[in-house]
Amino acid sequence: MLAQGVITTPKVSYFALLILIGLTVFMTAYEAPGILRDWAISQNPVEPVNGDIRDGKCSTQRGFFTSCEAHLNYAYNGQTYDKSVEIMFVDIHAGDYDTNVVISRDHPELATLSLGLDMLWNRIITLAVFVALLGGAGIAMIFQILRGWCVRGQLQQAAQLEPVPVEITAVQRRGKQLTVVYADKIAAKKTGRSAQTRFEPGQEPLVVGEKDGKAVALAVWHGNTALPVLMDSQLQRIDMTAQERASILAPLTAELGSHPPELVVRGKKGPSILARLGRLVLVILLIIAGIFGYWIWYVTSAGSQFTSPGMDINNMMPTPLNRWGCDQLKKRFGDQRAPFGCTASDYTSWK
């Protein structure tokens, strides 16, 4: 029999699973209704004669994720409608989009932008990819959690133990508790599966060697369980008498010699909290510097006032910087339409 609680599930797995499920549900709930609406419109579309687009704007994130939103006002068959539309698609584009109001001839209460219909398959594929990636990662996480639960249940039953070497891939110390992640990558019938375990104060894994700079420890397969169980250096995890335990450890100690291999990563400490904060601050400063530098290039050197995401960055700048940026753009493009962030109340002329 093996001790209980020797296979643990990282708490971060549950947190990550909730995030993956939340993102999947959010993406589906945010995009699917609009896609279904536009699919219905595409079956019998018509452009109303007096359709009006207000407060229309598009913004680009990470260079190719574009989201557009607008308020649509139109009349059809003597009835007036006021709708809000949001769409998201993948596109590498600089400048404005030309678009019109499109409605369903069969259901005139359904309205969208012609851009939404042009990008309909783009939007469907984008949503499908997001759901597949996030949902697939969530399913994989659920499988790993359930596998750990199943193994813990099987360990409650007596079964034959088969020794197997495993590779220790990560070690973390918190106070007196030692958490070890190990993988079945060395045995002849290796599975490549990883597991996590926590050792009680004073316990450490039974390290028997080293491979490629990583510690190799002794684990055992418990019957037909899906994961091996990592052994401690005194074999306290196996239910046996002191004499049986000594008889097993004696030849192993003799083989390892007077200087048995140690846990390769023992004593390694991660960066201090101050160091981590310093790195975070450095990354934030680099991002800010990059954004500021791009903004300077946009307002002083860009070939078009409608370059994205320069317009969005300029719009987010504090009022004095935004005014200065718009002045620089107006010097070069004053005879043309004003870009987003520099428009007056009519959304066309310069402010």
Note the pLDDT tens digit of each residue in 18-34.
988 998 998 898 899 99
Q: In this predicted structure, what is the pLDDT of residue 217? A: 87
Q: Residue 138: inside a domain, yes or no?
A: no
Q: In this predicted structure, what is the pLDDT of residue 72? A: 92
Average pLDDT over residues 164-172: 87
> Mean pLDDT of all residues in the chain?
84
Q: Under a CB-based contact definition with an 8 Å cutoff, are residues 181 and 168 in contact?
A: yes
Q: Residue 139: inside a domain, yes or no?
A: no
Q: In this predicted structure, what is the pLDDT of residue 110? A: 93
Q: Using alpha carbons, select from 227, 249, 225 the residue that is nearest to residue 158.
A: 225
Q: Under a CB-based contact definition with an 8 Å cutoff, are residues 76 and 103 in contact?
A: yes
Q: Using alpha carbons, select from 38, 30, 52 the residue that is nearest to residue 111.
A: 38
Same domain, 18 and 115: yes
pLDDT for residue 194 is more than 60: yes
Q: In this predicted structure, what is the pLDDT of residue 88? A: 87
Same domain, 190 and 232: yes
Q: Residue 113: inside a domain, yes or no?
A: yes
Q: Under a CB-based contact definition with an 8 Å cutoff, are residues 221 and 164 in contact?
A: yes
Q: In this predicted structure, what is the pLDDT of residue 272? A: 59
Of all residues in the chain, the percent with pLDDT exceeding 90 is 16
pLDDT band at 158 (very low <50, low <70, confident <90, very high): confident
Same domain, 20 and 114: yes
Q: Residue 200: inside a domain, yes or no?
A: yes
Same domain, 223 and 281: no
Same domain, 238 and 304: no
pLDDT band at 102 (very low <50, low <70, confident <90, very high): very high
pLDDT for residue 188 is more than 70: no
Q: In this predicted structure, what is the pLDDT of residue 339? A: 86
**Domain range spanning residue 327?**
273-333
Residue 102's H or E segment, with its range, is strand 101-104
List, as one string, the DSSP characters of 108-123. TT-EEEHHHHHTHHHH
Instruction: Report pLDDT digits (tens) over 265-299.
Output: 444 445 656 777 778 888 888 888 888 999 999 89
Q: What is the number of domains present in the chain?
A: 3
What gap in Å lies between CA 314 and CA 296, rounded to an integer? 9
Looking at the DSSP bridge assignments, the partners of residue 101 are: 113
What gap in Å lies between CA 273 and CA 341, rounded to an integer? 39
What gap in Å lies between CA 185 and CA 31, rounded to an integer? 42
What gap in Å lies between CA 299 and CA 330, rounded to an integer? 9
CA 336 vs CA 236, 299, 330: distances in Å: 80, 15, 9
Q: Residue 100: inside a domain, yes or no?
A: yes
Which residues have CB under 8 Å from 22's CB, separation 6+?
Answer: none
Same domain, 31 and 85: yes
The better pLDDT of the pair 347, 190 is held by 190
Q: Residue 120: inside a domain, yes or no?
A: yes
Average pLDDT over residues 138-156: 87
pLDDT for residue 264 is more than 60: no
Q: In this predicted structure, what is the pLDDT of residue 277? A: 76
pLDDT for residue 216 is more than 50: yes
The pTM of the full predicted model, rounded to 2 decimals, is 0.57
Q: Residue 346: inside a domain, yes or no?
A: no
Instruction: Report pLDDT digits (tens) over 307-348.
Output: 877 888 888 888 889 899 999 999 989 888 888 888 887 667
Same domain, 124 and 17: yes
Same domain, 312 and 236: no
CA 209 vs CA 47, 165, 193, 205, 312: distances in Å: 74, 9, 20, 12, 57
Residue 222's H or E segment, with its range, is strand 214-222
H helices of the chain, in order, are 11-43, 114-118, 120-154, 242-256, 273-301, 310-316, 319-333
Max mean pLDDT range (90-94, 120-124, 337-341): 120-124
- What angle separates helix 11-43 from helix 120-154, to the nearest 10 degrees? 150
Same domain, 23 and 123: yes
Q: Under a CB-based contact definition with an 8 Å cutoff, are residues 171 and 178 in contact?
A: yes
Instruction: Report pLDDT digits (tens) over 44-76.
Output: 999 888 888 888 888 877 657 788 889 999 998
Same domain, 16 and 117: yes
What gap in Å lies between CA 12 and CA 169, rounded to an integer? 17
What gap in Å lies between CA 197 and CA 182, rounded to an integer? 8
Which residues have CB under 8 Å from 64's CB, separation 6+?
Answer: 90, 91, 92
Q: Is the peptide bond before 309 cis (omega within 30 degrees of 0)?
A: yes
Phi first, then psi: give them for residue 328, nearest 5 degrees.
Answer: -65, -40
Residue 209, both tokens: 């060697």
Same domain, 179 and 283: no
Q: Residue 155: inside a domain, yes or no?
A: no
